[in-house]
Chain A
Amino acid sequence: MKHIHRILSVTLLILLISCNKDFLDTTPKDQYSDLAVWESPDLIRAYTNGIYQQLHNPLGTLWLSSFVDETMAQGFWGLSTVNSSLINPSDLSVLASDHWGQTMQPLSWDKAYKNIRACNLFFENVDKATYGSQSEKDQIIGEVTFLRAYIYHWLVAFHGGVPIITKSFSVGDDFEVPRNTYEECINFIAGECDKAAALLPESGEKARASKGAALALKSRTLLYAASDFANSDASWAGSYAHPELVGYVGGDRATRWRAAKAAAKAVIDLNIYSLYNANPTSTEDAIKGCEDVFLNYTTDEDIFLITYDYTNGNWPFTYMGQSNSPNGWHGWGGAGPIGQFVDAYEMSDGSKFDWSNPAHKAEPYANRDPRFYATVLYNGGYYKPRPSDVIAADPLGLVQTGFYEQPDGTYLGGLDTKDGIDNWNAMPTGYYLRKFIDPKVDITVEIQKLPWKAFRYAEIMLNYAEACIELGEEPEAILYLNKIRTRAGMPDITASGQALKDEYRYERRFELAFEQHRFFDVRRWMIASEAYTNVEGIKITYNLLPGGGYAPPVYEKNPDTWENREFKNNWYLLPITIAEMSRNTKLIQNPLY
């Protein structure tokens, strides 16, 4: 037995020694440790790039325009649920944080707070790094300060007051945090904007936050805060016990308007932004200018841009053309302007369009606000050359949403209708999207890489005008409104009082069409019930002439509608999900849910 012991122990000993355990001390080869990240300004910059990357890139088909009276989306389910105010804490439908449509995800409660944590973590660690200069450090801190405020702005716009969280939680912390009041939230965002503005440079890369971006965010935030909805004492909410969560309770509203005006003026006073193509030489030039604002990567009008995922190029904006172009160009007709939107465009002389006016009815697309032509594709309007397999049927590249009488008396639709090619993608309203879509991009093959203009100068001018109107400073408001109208090729406004207010709202609706404002504007002006009516469209018929050929088209409002919409007061704000309510018992649900 002695032998055995010796052999066993010697052999095992050799084996044990030969197996140095150090080889188990591996580290991941494709990840950075937190120590490495927080000591390196370059890695911190990459980290903040990640926060930028997770911002909401609005365009697509499932964008806020399809949740208000601008467009109607096809291809996403649950839209009618949302637009009929039927969402509830059990089912947020397309607005759920895990909805596959993705476009809206970054705006969801979950994803927004995830990105807020990324900001909080930054603030807690940025001092560990040694920066080459204070200004470099100030800038990055200013950027993240802006970013966090920007994310909070979206959360508050959708939910009212939300929990303001400024620290990064760790496992084991007490996670239950109550909602802050609406007023606290507004003050927090505005304060952060001031901090950011003080730290940030005036100029630089526009996809990064600048002083202008911080001031513009402040302007938008204070405008919303001064509006009817936030100052309604929750009168719309029945006997809601916590009006402080959804608006101001008491206080001086005029002060709020003055703050909103000052915030907008602060951007204007930077004197670094100007309207693109501010003085067009002709109507054509005006149309082209309004279109090109969005087809240039950057102009002097831009304040803050949101760029896209370069590696995948896969955020919806890049597929704008493919998702929304007419089916006759092999597009998917995803989001199309609705009849109510088109009908509301003024005539080029500033008068209203009217179906009962025979001249208007005969040629509804003639002599309209030039922005109409830069925004909407309509029957007979030029888009671009048809794809090779269709070009023979339409060498001119004109949109065909009309229906042509056949010798047997039936009607056959044009190329961009349900009788055209890829007919399942036809938009029944008879209109397609033009704004934001770069016609030079071959939609079935190429992706569009234009950035999204999250803040542009025209919005600030309008914010300023609105505050001025509310403060009774009409000439000042008219001055700025007319700058915008001039660029659009529209005659000046001379109205006052309610008429001026109406003109202002017209300007805002069509200057900022599809730019994610209308959804909030109809709520803060508390005119949402007008904005949610069943989706209308156009009916265009080409009748055969006795001698052959077609008579000029007959236009009429289509008696059919395509999506049921109805506004109920619960839909002023989003609910907090049942799951989140049970995870955080300190939360209070929004009214009417």
Chain B
Amino acid sequence: MKNKLLTGYARHFTGRSEMLKVMKIGILFMILGITNVQAFVYSQTYNIDLSLSNVPLREAFARIEEKTDLKFLFRSDLIDINKATNIEEKGSTTLPELMTELLDGSEISYNVVNDNLIVLSPKQPQKVTGIVTDEKGSTIPGVNIQVEGTTIGVTTDVNGKYTIELPGDNGVLIFTFIGYTTQKIEVKGEATINVTMVAETQNLQEIVVVGYGSQKKATLTGSVSTVKGADLALLPVMNVSNSLSGKLSGVFVSTGSSEPGNDGSIITIRGISTFNNTAPLIVVDGVPGRSLDRIDPNIIDNISVLKDASAAIYGAQAANGVILITTKRGKIGKPAINFSYNLGTGSPTSMPKLTNSFEYTTMLNEIDFYNGVPNRYSDNDLKLYQDGSDPLGHPNTDWYAETLKPWSSQHAMNISLSGGSESFRYFISASTKFQDGFYKNSASNYKQQSFTANLDGKINKYISLRADFSGRLENPNAPSTPVYDIFTSASLGKPTVLAFWPNGLPAQGGEGGANPALLGTSELGYSHTKNYVLNTNLNLKIDVPWVKGLSLNLLAALDEGFQYNKLWNKPWNTYNWDGSTLDENGDPVLVKTTWGGDPKLSQTDDKSQNLLTSALLNYKVNISKKQTLELMGAVEKIEGSSSYLYGYRRYFISTAIDEINQGGVKEMNNGGSSSISARLNYFGRANYTLSDRYMIEFQWRYQGSYIFSKENRFGFFPGVSLGYIMSEEDYWKKSLGNSISFFKIRASYGKTGNDLINPYQYLSTFYTGTLNSIVNGGTGAEATLYENVVPNPNATWESATQRDLGVDMRFLNGNLALTVDIFSNLRDNILSQRNASVPTSAGLSLPAENIGKAENKGFDFDISYRNSPNPDKLSYQIGFNGVYSKNKLIFWDETPGVPDYQKSEGAPIYAELYYVSMGIFKDEAAVTNYPHWDGARPGDVIFKDVNDDKVIDANDKVRSDKTNIPVSSGAISFSLRYKDFDFSMVMQGILGGERYIFGYAGEIGPYFKDFYDNRWTPDNPNASGPRTFNRENEYWATSDDYSTQSTQFLYKTDYVRLKNFEIGYSLPSSVLKKIGSTSLRVYFSAYNLFTIAPDLKGFDPELNNKRGYGYPLQKVINFGVSLGF
């Protein structure tokens, strides 16, 4: 290249030393051919005394040539030698210093030849090409590449390739792309530069989805947490709600169960501020009420959580926050196919430890001892239980082990195709999932098939059309016994009762043949559910041609749901042994019993429909260079309906056919009902931005709902937010710009509502109850009718006042990002009943009235640090987010005259009353010396005489300052990519919650091992736990009845849990090329791998059950592969 340029030098020499210059050309050729480095002359210094001001270059050259031995060589047709220059030299100076001064501001570069010959040439453009890929090696189209300090820029093509011409052979290329860290790369003469972009979550250029639109993160004024679909799709969970744990600041996710098909998490945003429904509004592609749980994570592009008044645009449904899910759309480019497969295995996180048969029988004897009746087990029995020498007569059965298998499989597969052209783009995805239940021979599993086709068409310059179709078949299967009953039975399974005989036949196990090991199987029948979901969106967007910036968006979304359930109960067999008869082989002679009577089938058929139509006008105008105004206004109509039909038959002649027409006609039954809902919403937004640093936004919703009376049907919900990017100010850039590159302060205030309450509370209505067999002496039946609650015509929504103050900051060149928000949610008009003050003698079913008031205050934060010391080899990210939210009741109906320590007001919502345990009465003297419950004896729990009136009664209960809902939750995430390996993990923790756990035990079933170990006995009078109890016979022994709960059985739920963990390996592109693939990654991941919950012994901290039973949570170990073409 350079040679080509220099060929022209021979022709037009100008200046006085032309001949000399010509003579040296040969040398010039030689030198330039081998080197362009002039370092060896740089050390040389010149003493020039020269002061020129605003003289043409050619004159300056002449003056320098006069004063030194330097010679200038140039083509006057290529460089502007008349350009004015300034030079001010005194004393010694180096050549580069001199040349820099001389050529400042010109388009001229120079080379030094033979120490003193300076060849001048125009700064030459240089062509650089390359491919831009992401961390996984996929090419990225549309990456912006700019030469630093110039306006020269290109973008990568559909294959991620780019070509750019630099004005000189040196320069810095800046690679930017939404969602990725900006990279600066020095060209240093390289002709090929391939770049790996590192994904960044805090990129300020990122577009954030907000209610009915999207905004740049940099100028966002609301408090919004976001997560990318790609971060969720990796988790080996069957339910999207479970994958949100720890991913979003301010969002608390609690999974109560991992039962296949029934494993949704409870999501609360910034804690709770009402004692009614606390569920956030879920909006999928603009349509409220779609499922977050069951959507295929592979089609999620991103999730935004509106945490403050930015949710006001959703009005009366927004008080608990809003979760917006946006699905993926096709991008322009050749078809890209992605395939992924995951194979995992799940097992319970933890099961309570229960007493074995020896411990259990020992305790039953203790019950007899305390009751003054003879021991039910002889010393010989105890011995046999202990040494296990009589496995048939004195067994030791571990019912959990008999009922549950150690590992259950799950798998998931997804294939997607996307791409398109300017006029038509497509994203098509299909997924299938399977999860097996924990039971041995499980009748419980979950299957799901889903597909999505998101299509974008551009009809002409002004009109574009979107059509989205998403369909899903959710197929949860379960045993006919409800899950709670199965785990209750297993937890109460007596270790002294055999599960299976040596020949493998099931023993009776429990009452009525309810052998827990059979309940989870299909022996007793099944409950099969098929839930078909169809979501469709049709969206027409018109950019109004004659008004720039004005567009009209019309949306029609139709959702249909069909749910079929079949509950089949059939007889089953167990086998009994009389305890003595043996056959010739010495095996017990067993007798079959059939349980369950006749086969029974209940079938339900549910149908639901939701139709949303809306029209939205958007107008964006640049009022001046510095001012932007965006206006939006819309109307939205939502109508829903549902109906169900139910049929029941019994007395099936055979279990061979489980269809309803095979059932007997005797006692056949059917039922059904329907409901409708309707909402009408007007809403809008105005954004104003000044100088890209001052932002103000106002949004509102005027909402009408069928739930309320005509007079109270409409409500207005406004929200306003302000933002100020201080770092855009010059003073900031000068003083703080290097350390804090971005600083934005935000504030918002708004009113939202919560209408998740029973509809029609304003009407005086009567509901039909169950039939009364009141005629024909009890053999015939008639309808019953009951008064509903007393109407409250004034019932209206709960209203929330939300305040938020936040800052977004970036440090260390944007590698460290910090967002902190403090918030307060004041909820008033909470619907609640005056049960506490209205005497029950009034007989009223009290209506809910808008009387409650509660407040929730706290802060949330998100810190992340990411660095790519070497983008090709190493990049990592560390994140820490958390939320602290403390709520308190300000008002609700309090029983008059209760002592202050029992008041609900001022205490957290749901705070319960407990007797305060002061330990255990160690002996008779201890009982005598302290006020006690009538009938208390040594080994019982000491209830504190709180009001010091020497009597223990309900006035001694104290309201706790904690609840089941933790005050703080947080997560630490870490991810690392090294060469072809990647690693990521999320550690979740919560603090500040408590749970009352007291299991049934006694004659009904075994005790917790922990109780056994710590119980009071006459020989262990200083025990920390009370004596052996039978069921709930002691005053302190209660789980169902709230009246005598004490702090003795109150446990802290604090925990730290490794929620997620993943290691992956991506094949290098060199290998991929050979197999014709663009990416191939294999990975190992785990979910809920370990948990530390110091105060909970054997209970999963997320399993919210007072007795410690319930379908457990699972930990999953998973292998996966993803492949792209």
Contact = CB atoms under 8 A, between A and B. Distances in A.
A7 to B, nearest CB: 6
Contact of A33 (B706, B764, B786, B953): B764
B127 interface: no
B843 A165 contact: yes
Nearest to B773: A310
A166 to B, nearest CB: 11
Interface in A388-403: 388-390, 392-393
Given A34-B766, A392-B591, A173 B842 contact: yes
A89 interface: yes
Given A46-B782, A583-B839, A27 B576 contact: no
Interface stretch (B209-217, B338-346, B1030-1038, B1111-1119): B1030-1038
Contacts of A133: none
Interface string A431-473: 0000000000010111001110000000000000000000000
Given A118-B786, A310-B771, A175 B838 contact: yes
A307 B778 contact: yes
B735 interface: no
A7 B760 contact: no
Interface string A406-445: 0000100000001101101100100000000000001011
Given A28-B759, A50-B769, A584-B841, A90 B953 contact: yes
B840 A583 contact: yes
A387 B593 contact: yes
A518 B335 CA distance: 86
A389 B953 contact: no
Nearest to B837: A583
Contacts of A332: 511
B504 interface: no
Contacts of A580: 839-841
Interface string A40-68: 00010111011011000000000000000
A49 B635 contact: no
Nearest to A29: B674
Interface string B709-728: 01001000000000000000
Given A3-B547, A4-B619, A444-B595, A169 B842 contact: yes
Interface stretch (B371-379, B431-439, B1018-1026): B371-379
Interface in A8-51: 8, 11-12, 15-16, 19, 21, 23-34, 37, 43, 45-47, 49-50
Contacts of B378: 410
A21 B898 contact: no
A27 B775 CA distance: 32
Interface string A358-393: 000000000000000000000000000001111011
A562 interface: yes
Interface in B773-798: 773-779, 781-788, 790, 792
Given A170-B790, A582-B898, A81 B935 contact: yes
Contacts of A120: 843
A171 B847 contact: yes
Interface in A296-332: 297-298, 305, 307-312, 322, 330, 332
A28 B765 contact: yes
Contacts of B376: 418
B843 A449 contact: no
A110 B843 CA distance: 7
A582 B896 contact: yes
B598 interface: yes
B690 interface: no
A32 B372 contact: no
A153 to B, nearest CB: 16
B152 interface: no
Interface string A162-190: 11010011110101110000000000000
Contacts of A393: 578
B705 interface: yes
Contacts of A349: none
A561 B374 CA distance: 9
B934 A88 contact: yes
A8 B765 contact: no
A253 to B, nearest CB: 30
A120 B841 CA distance: 12
A28 B782 contact: no
A31 B595 contact: no
A109 interface: yes
Nearest to A394: B578
A91 B767 contact: no
B550 A86 contact: no
Interface string A90-117: 1100001111100000000110011111
A410 B770 CA distance: 53
A455 B676 CA distance: 46
B849 interface: yes
B189 interface: no
Contact of A388 (B373, B593, B619, B778): B593
A485 interface: no
Contacts of B847: 171
Contacts of A502: none
A534 to B, nearest CB: 9
Interface residues of B, number: 113
Contacts of B837: 583
A175 B839 contact: yes
Contacts of A90: 953-955, 1043
B774 A205 contact: yes
A562 B372 CA distance: 8
B98 interface: no
Given A307-B773, A444-B513, A171 B792 contact: yes
Contacts of B1035: 81, 91
B1076 interface: no
Nearest to A25: B710
A584 B678 contact: no
A47 B773 contact: no
Given A11-B615, A49-B785, A27 B763 contact: yes
Interface in B522-574: 544, 546-547, 550, 552, 574
A445 B598 contact: yes
Name the residue in A53, A79, A428 with the highest tally of chain B Cβ atoms < 10 Å from its Cβ: A53
Contact of A207 (B494, B759, B778, B1030): B778
A393 B767 CA distance: 52
A577 B130 CA distance: 83
Interface in B783-821: 783-788, 790, 792
B351 interface: no
B766 A7 contact: no
B992 interface: no
Contacts of B513: 330, 444
A312 B770 CA distance: 7
Contact of A309 (B595, B679, B760, B772): B772
B680 A24 contact: yes
A11 B552 contact: yes
Contact of A424 (B713, B955, B1003): B1003
Given A4-B619, A7-B547, A46-B785, 14 more contacts: A3-B546, A7-B544, A23-B680, A24-B704, A26-B676, A28-B760, A45-B782, A50-B769, A90-B954, A118-B787, A171-B834, A330-B512, A330-B513, A444-B513
Interface of A: 3-4, 7-8, 11-12, 15-16, 19, 21, 23-34, 37, 43, 45-47, 49-50, 52-53, 74-75, 77-81, 84, 86, 88-91, 96-100, 109-110, 113-118, 120-121, 162-163, 165, 168-171, 173, 175-177, 205-208, 297-298, 305, 307-312, 322, 330, 332, 387-390, 392-393, 410, 418-419, 421-422, 424-425, 428, 442, 444-446, 449-451, 560-562, 564, 578-580, 582-585, 587
20 contacts: A4-B619, A15-B615, A19-B635, A24-B704, A24-B713, A30-B767, A31-B765, A43-B766, A50-B772, A53-B769, A77-B1030, A81-B935, A109-B840, A168-B843, A389-B576, A392-B578, A444-B595, A449-B778, A561-B373, A578-B953
The 5 closest A-B pairs by CB, nearest first: A117-B843, A445-B597, A90-B954, A311-B770, A77-B1032
